[in-house]
Structure 1
Amino acid sequence: MFGLTFEKILIIGIVAVFLLGPEKLPHYAAQLGRLVRQLRDMANGAKDRMRDEMGPEFDELDWKKLDPRQYDPRRIIREALLDDTPADTTPTISRSPNPNSAYLQKKRASLPAAEPAPFDTEAT
């Protein structure tokens, strides 16, 4: 839970005893218990509401599959690069432009064939 080990929780508790004192410690411990109970109730309420809204599909979901901690970018890239399956075999669009397109006709009309393209010497 949040990377807290038993030793760390024990040290936090000892520091709390010294800082709060024995008079205030039971009061703050009770408040902490109420806060934890409220958070647990809110989480359960959200889960129940999700189950009500999604219906039976909620129980069928594989939540471990949706866990973002399982995605290792290095593994994903390695699998993508080492994938031996052939590339996409869908027909590709021809890259050669249509010789009758308006753009090419305008381009041919604006530059004579023997004349070089304009060049700006001041451009970088």
Structure 2
Amino acid sequence: MRFVRLAADYPVTVFGLTFEKLLIIGVIAVFLLGPERLPHYAAMLGKFVRSVRDFANGAKDRMREEMGPEFDDVDWQKLDPRQYDPRRIIRDALSDADPFAEPATPVVARAAVNENSAYLQRKRKREALGAGDAAPFDSEAT
């Protein structure tokens, strides 16, 4: 069975902070700034967000110009680094099988039982002792 994690399974984070933490920081900032300075800082935040958005759109437009018509054909979901599983990549690289074939059901092999294992030897000795027999004693072990 394969476990697939979707993008929805990952929490939305900005600089390692979740939405709830960002909301708490925002509420604390409102109390610290006060009603006098809040409109000024909100306008500054709005300008910053617009400049970041314009920067991202400019980078996307420049990339589209440099790549040409192939830019729209790129499947960006395939390039998402969260979908890569290093174990699967190594397994696919080392296997001779077709990488696009459906994965076979894994077969779990059972290990052979070692009849001379220490555990089984102790178990046999315990079973060989009768109810009234004394346990074996090794004077050199104590």
TM-score (normalised: structure 1)? 0.58
What is the percentage of aligned positions where both structures have the same residue? 73
Give the secondary structure class of the aligned counterpart of 1:55: helix
Distance in 1 of aligned mates of 2:90 and 2:64:
35
Are 1:4 and 2:28 matched, yes or no? Answer: no
Partner residue of 2:32? 19
Structure 1 stretches of 4+ with a deviation exceeding 6 A read: none
Count of residues in correspondence between the two structures: 83
Are 1:59 and 2:87 matched, yes or no? Answer: no
Q: Which runs of 5+ in 1 are unaligned?
A: 86-124
The structure showing larger relative contact order (alpha-carbon pairs under 8 Å, at least 6 residues apart) is 2
CA RMSD of aligned residues (A): 1.8
Partner residue of 1:112? none
Partner residue of 2:42? 29
Distance in 2 of aligned mates of 1:58 and 1:28:
38
Partner residue of 2:85? 72
From the superposition, tell whether residues 54 and 84 of structure 1 become closer, same or farther in structure 2 (CA, over 3 Å).
Answer: closer
- The structural deviation recorded for 1:56 is 0.2
Distance in 2 of aligned mates of 1:41 and 1:80:
41
TM-score (normalised: structure 2)? 0.52
